Structure 1
Amino acid sequence: MTEALRPLRPLQAQISGDSSNPRSPQQAGSAPALTPVSIPDPLTRRVICSQCRIRKVRCDGRPDICQNCDRLGFECSFQQAPGKSPGQYFVKLPERRRRMQACIPCHSKKTRCLGELPSCSSCVRRNRVCTYPRTRRNGTSAHGHDVVEGSRVDGKQANTSPGQDIGMVGQAEGSAIDHETTLSLLEDYFQHLYPLPSFAFFHKATVIQRCKDQTMNETLKLSICAITALQLQRTSLCHDLWIQQAEQSILQQIGRASIFHLQALLLVIRYKIESGEFPTAFMLAALAARTALALRLNYERPELSDVAQEVRRRLFWALYLLDDFFCVGLREFELCPEETIHLQLPCDEDYFEMGRFVHTGLLRPGPSEVLTTVGLRGVYLRLTSVRRAVMRFNRRVGLGEELSSTIGGSIRHFEEELRSLQVSLRPADQYSVSNMQSSKWPAQFVMLHMSWHQCHCDLYRLGLDGYSEAAPSPVLAALHPRDRVAMQFKCLEHAESIIRIVSDFSNYEDARECLLERDAAVCAFESARLVMFGSRIQGAVSTLDVAINKAKLSLGLITRFFPHSASTQPLRKDLERLIASYSVRLALQTQETFTEPEQPPSTRLSTKVSQYASSRQRLSVQSLLLQSDFVDDSHEIAGPTPPADTYTHALPDLLQPSAQSPSPHGYGPSSDRTSAAASKPQQWSPAGNGQLPSPGLSLDAGQEDAGLIFNPWMGFTGTEDMSGRTPVLDHEF
């Protein structure tokens, strides 16, 4: 159908036809090819050609042909056609040209896309599948594949099963997955991802059967295939499109709580974390927690079948483990506070596969519990709970909220809990190389024992004088020297044990088929730091050169098992810089010309969040919440933002290091917190104020003492003079 051409404005004079007839003969029939328009007198007003007027762009009025028409190849109305009277010109409407459109991966990640075909340079550089949205004209993408339509937009879907999506939007090109690919990715999921603690909330036989019957929930299918393709780096598959489709379906049905959608949402969140979309993952995690509570997943449902009950439990416990990506032991960010959980622990895999119920006990073990009923997954959850309690304890010690007289008793209490966890393991689950090799789940096995040792490191490093996460000087002074030395050697002993596990697992032939979760990288990173730092302590097991080689084993594990994970990249880069710095220290010691490395330049105080919140939270540079880079824009409520120098002039002491500034731990070499707080208002030193160093700040061995390297679980250590706060605060925060 030919589109009618319209005049730019009413004609100043009637050209032809009866003036009384509202429509000319041409208008009464089919649309004319040309429409007469009037050219304004150049002497009375600014000259604008017809094309520029139609397109509503600025015209330079250049004679013969304007610059816009010349550049775009349009027929300009300034070009007087032969036989046409001046003042009138018959012109065609300009052809409609589409603006450059970003591909779907670049659009979802909000990165610049140049729109090249068949693949944009950004996707080629990042080795990902590049696909463009389908056009309205032909319903195909830029690749030209046919689009497979999903369910109807109006939500009316025939033969809908209980697990089927309702209201699915039409799928974009590439989001449809053929049956063979789906089955293959499902098998890969259960072989590689299911052994990990955070992915074990499916019943394999049920999911596989639904896939074969083609009754599987569409959103869930997309999310499983997407996370599997991402983790296994199946770059030929359009997993970016799949996860985008799954996320859109979940958000469109946000008011319709569903077990299937919650399962899919957890996988979407993990996908976002692994691909570096931390702010989105953080916000979606809150939606997952609300959905779980709406479905009452934190309570038992005895009337359900054994398989359904166990799936519900495992789904909630997977959500519980998700807290460690963001809250870092901070109660205010927790999705699933332990006091709200009224579930027993997941059962052993053999019972789950058989669909048989077995009592496993609660998160906190009871006095009469049968220890043999708790498998690897249950013990891992209990260990996670203890580690979070240790983190909260360490924060209280760092903030001066734990009395020196109670610190020793608290440490002994945690030691007893960790000892009980080890005893609760079956003989086949105790650590040895042979048990690791014969374990059905070697990745789960290794992660459990690494985390157990790391919990001891987190506890004992309080006594590691000079370390960035050590207890404040007054607390260390209150400890008996014998106890402090014992804590130091216990901390280093457990760090050495982690590296030994790293070495055993790296040399295990079948380990190349395994995947690990981020906590394994955290444990490897922290053990490497501790071993290199501890090499300076007299009587340490490892000298500096040996410690550097052991740290390289940890770096090798992070590099090998997390090559594409955005969440572990900071760990790898920081450890590389730290090993390089200690290597320089070793070379200088060998040359007998060693001098302490200079401290890096001070960094400007961040104003993105409340200073009090920064001190209380002490988020680490590896924290995904801190990497999310949320900015508090509350200052815009009252008016325009003040100039940048206003803050600098108002707080000169915050930006300039001085001899009176407190040490990275909040205390000077020979002063205490009370004297520092009484002498002057709180100063936030650049090295330890709970804020991030500048992005370009490189880590070196000298920064361990300065508190510039941070534990991914414990967080940022720094000055905690809490002037102005209430005397009694909840010890959990």
Structure 2
Amino acid sequence: MTEALRPLRPLQVSSVSHDSQSSQPKSGPISKSITAPDRPKKRAVCSQCRIRKVRCDGRPNLCQNCDRLGFECSFQQLPGKSPGQYVVKLPERRRRMQACIPCHSKKTRCLGELPSCSSCVRRNRVCSYPRAKNHGSAADGLTGAVGFDDECAEDASPSQEDMDMEMEMGDAADGEGSAPDAETTTALVLDYFDHLYPLPSFAFLHKPTVVLRCRDQTMNESLKLAICAITSLHLKRSSLCHDLWVQQAEQSILQQIGRASIFHLQALLLVIRYRIESGEFPTAFMLAALAARTALALRLNYERPELSQVAQEARRRLFWAVYLLDDFFCVGLREFELCPEETIHLQLPCDEDHFGAGRYVHTGLLRPGPSDNVSTVGLRGVYLRLTSVRRAVMRFNRRVGLGEELSSTIGGSMRRFEEELNSLMANLSPFEQYSVSNLTSCRWQAQFIMLHMSWHQCHCDIYRLGLDGYSEAAPSPILMAIHPRERTAMQFKCFEHAESIIRIVSDFSTHGNGECLLERDAAVCAFESARLVMFSSRIPGAPSNLDLAINKAKLSLNLITRFFPYSASTQPLRKDLERLIASYSVRLALQTQEAFSEPDPPSARPSTKVSQYASSRQRLSVQSLLLQSDFVDDSNEIAGPAPGAAIQATANAMQTNSRTTYVSGSSEVTVAPRNQTWGVTGQVESLNGQAQQSGTCLDAGQEDAGLIFNPWMGFAGTEDMHGMSGRPPDEEF
């Protein structure tokens, strides 16, 4: 029989033994005696050092740390106190710095200057600090023993690293429980329905229900925080902790990512809008996909006739709000669409009066069929149908630019778009048709002017294909195939609708409600109309000469500056329009005779950010939020560096540090990197400087077919970039 295996090491000998022989090691191959080392005696730690997590020297009566900092030490024998108990008073945190809300949300170092920290001043941000907290109140009744048996932490000197850690810990403590109180919540919820609810993307909440739950304090916590955050951001309530609120709402939603909920989706949409307006485009882009998945998981794209009328309409509006998110990121590209139209089986939203009263009204589908007998769809329904038409126009323009549309079919496609747009306008009631009197009497002025501006902009997108010398015109072979009389008609129709947008901007500035808010599409329409009006001054017989065109463009600039002062998504539009107006003003002052054509974009190496095929299919503008998200394809790192690739990688890195390439179809645009304080808008000066050095200009026969898309879906025109100085902008973008 096999002998049992002997253990690898001898068993520990018990220190407590009743047999004197048991203390001797057992016989065997290992004959060394095993002696347990003596445990060092633990040093006593006072209560103050234990709370502060620093090393205590254990000096009787008064430790060195408390003596040095002037704290009341728990080792002190106070009269009237038993030696075993001591009332612990939490000391003030003397080294903690208070980080401002923007720096805390972006996890950047904040020096805590008042009234604005240097980081926010350098980045031109609104700086605000959270409300002060009473940190000592929670520990007033804490009692503990004189000494502790636990190991104390290592002594920490007041280094910069410790100060940063203490600052983050203090800010995290301040963030806990920083939800708005009941009074603040009620005020912000009412402000939401007064200012944001009239906009198309924010009209998915039912006011009577939400207000009632707010006052009863039964509202979903994530939704409450999201409403308060987005409202305070848009209304510039900088004294409120809206960055912390939106962060708490987002974290709560992500923690329950596997539990789809209507309330979480409502809150998520508001969080996405907040991230867009604050310039956090990558986060917004990823969260938008989560919102679309949640909407489909809840089957919001289908009707639910067994529900109440309020619940059905709220579901419809919530899904249509997700549908409108595509305007920020999909830019006419199918692969980025969140909600393809073939998956939507919902009717359009009804009027506000019917929604508030819970009455059912048949409004028709997104794409009306021959049997659709709906007489009046309403502002919101027509706006959604118009959004669908504009996306179809953008896809049509892309096909024309890539040469995928036959010249013989272009005219027929344009006429079909014209008929569809005229049909949309016919669905409006007489009080919803555009006029100054209807504007002043309309209850929803923001929705009213956005609808009519977008309708005219859709015509501009169609007809600008025939503008000779314009960067967004059709390629030269297609232009040559169009009869000159038809091209001239397209030009004047395009300029006429651009003038109509300027007129709406002027009427709204004069007769509109200056306190209402607008969405980004209004800024895009104003921007594009200003470009077209100034460009039209080169055409003989145009409605405006150069001087008048510049003044009209300034009306658009004033609208963008006035209604989007802190919007990160519209800031590139404002800066580009300012440079464009300055360029045309210089031309007016010099009275040059050169043609108003555009410079040839500089040739550059192939882009390494995206694949070559994607470069030709996915042309994005510098104003595109998808491009501003700065996603980079790092597929080359999957297999590791190839032999001998270190030198080439170093050379490529040096080139990347000096320039960044953005794809524009068959051409590319090279700009200075962001870390050299150029930002995305530095493309304007970079292009212009190189174009001036080359001394070349494009005419209609040399027009690059790649530069054909506006900020709503693609590249801005290079006439924006002509005639500017080559120096970088002063402010950081």
Relative to the length of structure 2, the TM-score reads 0.73
2:601, 2:667 within 8 Å by CA — same for their partners in 1?
A: no
Q: What is the percent sequence identity of the aligned residues?
A: 75
- Describe how 1:95-244 pairs up with structure 2 within 5 A: 104-115=101-112, 120-123=117-120, 126-131=125-130, 172-173=175-176, 175-244=178-247
- Answering whether residue 426 of structure 2 is matched by residue 429 of structure 1, we say no
Identify the match of residue 413 of structure 2 among 410, 414, 438: 410
- CA distance in structure 2 between the aligned counterparts of 1:472 and 1:605, rounded to whole angstroms: 22
- In structure 2, relative to structure 1, the CA distance for the partners of 1:369 and 1:102 (3 Å cut) is same
Residue aligned with 2:175, SS = coil
- In structure 2, relative to structure 1, the CA distance for the partners of 1:598 and 1:632 (3 Å cut) is closer
Identify the match of residue 300 of structure 1 among 299, 303, 320: 303
- CA distance in structure 2 between the aligned counterparts of 1:138 and 1:637, rounded to whole angstroms: 54
Shift of 1:113: 2.5
Shift of 1:107: 3.6
* Counterpart for residue 340 of structure 2: 337
- Answering whether residue 34 of structure 2 is matched by residue 31 of structure 1, we say no
| Aligned amino acid, residue 549 of structure 1 | N
* Counterpart for residue 621 of structure 2: 620
Moved more, 185-194 or 116-125: 116-125
| Aligned amino acid, residue 128 of structure 1 | C
Identify the match of residue 554 of structure 1 among 556, 560, 571: 556
* Counterpart for residue 372 of structure 1: 375
Q: 1:506-560 deviations in whole A, cap 9, x for unaligned?
A: 111x421110000000000000001111110111111111111111110010000
1:588, 1:595 within 8 Å by CA — same for their partners in 2?
A: no
| Aligned amino acid, residue 353 of structure 1 | G
| Aligned amino acid, residue 574 of structure 2 | R
* Counterpart for residue 545 of structure 1: 547
- In structure 2, relative to structure 1, the CA distance for the partners of 1:32 and 1:594 (3 Å cut) is closer
Moved more, 130-139 or 497-506: 130-139
Q: 1:255-291 deviations in whole A, cap 9, x for unaligned?
A: 1110000000000000000000000000000000000
| Aligned amino acid, residue 44 of structure 2 | A
- Describe how 1:330-729 pairs up with structure 2 within 5 A: 330-508=333-511, 510-589=512-591, 606-640=607-641, 643=648, 684=667, 686=669, 695-698=682-685, 711-716=710-715
| Aligned amino acid, residue 711 of structure 1 | N
2:621, 2:710 within 8 Å by CA — same for their partners in 1?
A: yes
| Aligned amino acid, residue 550 of structure 1 | K
1:103, 1:113 within 8 Å by CA — same for their partners in 2?
A: yes
- In structure 2, relative to structure 1, the CA distance for the partners of 1:532 and 1:32 (3 Å cut) is closer
Shift of 1:483: 1.0
- In structure 2, relative to structure 1, the CA distance for the partners of 1:437 and 1:260 (3 Å cut) is same
Q: Give the root-mean-square deviation of aligned CA atoms.
A: 3.7
Q: 1:626-680 deviations in whole A, cap 9, x for unaligned?
A: 01111111111122375357669999xx999xxxxxxx998xxxxxxxxxxxxxx
- In structure 2, relative to structure 1, the CA distance for the partners of 1:134 and 1:212 (3 Å cut) is closer
Shift of 1:611: 2.5
| Aligned amino acid, residue 253 of structure 1 | Q
| Aligned amino acid, residue 456 of structure 1 | H
1:347, 1:378 within 8 Å by CA — same for their partners in 2?
A: yes
- CA distance in structure 2 between the aligned counterparts of 1:563 and 1:572, rounded to whole angstroms: 9
- CA distance in structure 1 between the aligned counterparts of 2:392 and 2:377, rounded to whole angstroms: 21
2:616, 2:664 within 8 Å by CA — same for their partners in 1?
A: no
Shift of 1:109: 2.0
| Aligned amino acid, residue 617 of structure 2 | R
Shift of 1:697: 3.0
1:383, 1:421 within 8 Å by CA — same for their partners in 2?
A: yes
- CA distance in structure 2 between the aligned counterparts of 1:102 and 1:435, rounded to whole angstroms: 49
| Aligned amino acid, residue 122 of structure 1 | S
| Aligned amino acid, residue 571 of structure 2 | Q
- In structure 2, relative to structure 1, the CA distance for the partners of 1:470 and 1:665 (3 Å cut) is farther
* Counterpart for residue 272 of structure 1: 275
- In structure 2, relative to structure 1, the CA distance for the partners of 1:550 and 1:704 (3 Å cut) is farther
Residue aligned with 1:521, SS = helix
- CA distance in structure 2 between the aligned counterparts of 1:505 and 1:414, rounded to whole angstroms: 27
- In structure 2, relative to structure 1, the CA distance for the partners of 1:543 and 1:139 (3 Å cut) is farther
| Aligned amino acid, residue 531 of structure 1 | V
- CA distance in structure 1 between the aligned counterparts of 2:43 and 2:306, rounded to whole angstroms: 71
- Describe how 1:73-84 pairs up with structure 2 within 5 A: none
Q: Which runs of 5+ in 1 are unaligned?
A: 1-19, 34-53, 55-72, 75-95, 141-168, 657-663, 667-682, 720-733
| Aligned amino acid, residue 620 of structure 1 | S
- In structure 2, relative to structure 1, the CA distance for the partners of 1:476 and 1:593 (3 Å cut) is closer
Shift of 1:106: 1.5
* Counterpart for residue 61 of structure 1: none
Moved more, 101-110 or 552-561: 101-110
| Aligned amino acid, residue 619 of structure 2 | R
Relative to the length of structure 1, the TM-score reads 0.73
* Counterpart for residue 255 of structure 2: 252
Residue aligned with 2:457, SS = helix
Shift of 1:217: 0.6
Shift of 1:30: 6.0
- CA distance in structure 2 between the aligned counterparts of 1:235 and 1:225, rounded to whole angstroms: 12
- In structure 2, relative to structure 1, the CA distance for the partners of 1:593 and 1:457 (3 Å cut) is closer
- In structure 2, relative to structure 1, the CA distance for the partners of 1:248 and 1:133 (3 Å cut) is farther
| Aligned amino acid, residue 715 of structure 2 | F
Shift of 1:593: 8.7
2:524, 2:711 within 8 Å by CA — same for their partners in 1?
A: yes
Shift of 1:135: 11
- In structure 2, relative to structure 1, the CA distance for the partners of 1:596 and 1:620 (3 Å cut) is closer
| Aligned amino acid, residue 563 of structure 2 | F
| Aligned amino acid, residue 639 of structure 1 | G
Shift of 1:128: 2.7
- CA distance in structure 1 between the aligned counterparts of 2:495 and 2:136, rounded to whole angstroms: 66
2:664, 2:715 within 8 Å by CA — same for their partners in 1?
A: no
Residue aligned with 1:372, SS = coil
1:687, 1:718 within 8 Å by CA — same for their partners in 2?
A: no
- CA distance in structure 2 between the aligned counterparts of 1:174 and 1:495, rounded to whole angstroms: 51
2:265, 2:295 within 8 Å by CA — same for their partners in 1?
A: yes
| Aligned amino acid, residue 584 of structure 1 | V
Shift of 1:613: 1.0
Moved more, 362-371 or 599-608: 599-608
Q: 1:92-144 deviations in whole A, cap 9, x for unaligned?
A: xxxx998978655324224442355897433466223234999999879xxxx
Moved more, 288-297 or 639-648: 639-648
1:603, 1:693 within 8 Å by CA — same for their partners in 2?
A: no
Shift of 1:32: 8.3
- CA distance in structure 1 between the aligned counterparts of 2:249 and 2:261, rounded to whole angstroms: 14
Shift of 1:462: 0.6
- CA distance in structure 1 between the aligned counterparts of 2:433 and 2:631, rounded to whole angstroms: 42
Shift of 1:604: 6.0
- CA distance in structure 2 between the aligned counterparts of 1:655 and 1:565, rounded to whole angstroms: 25
Residue aligned with 1:697, SS = helix
* Counterpart for residue 150 of structure 1: none
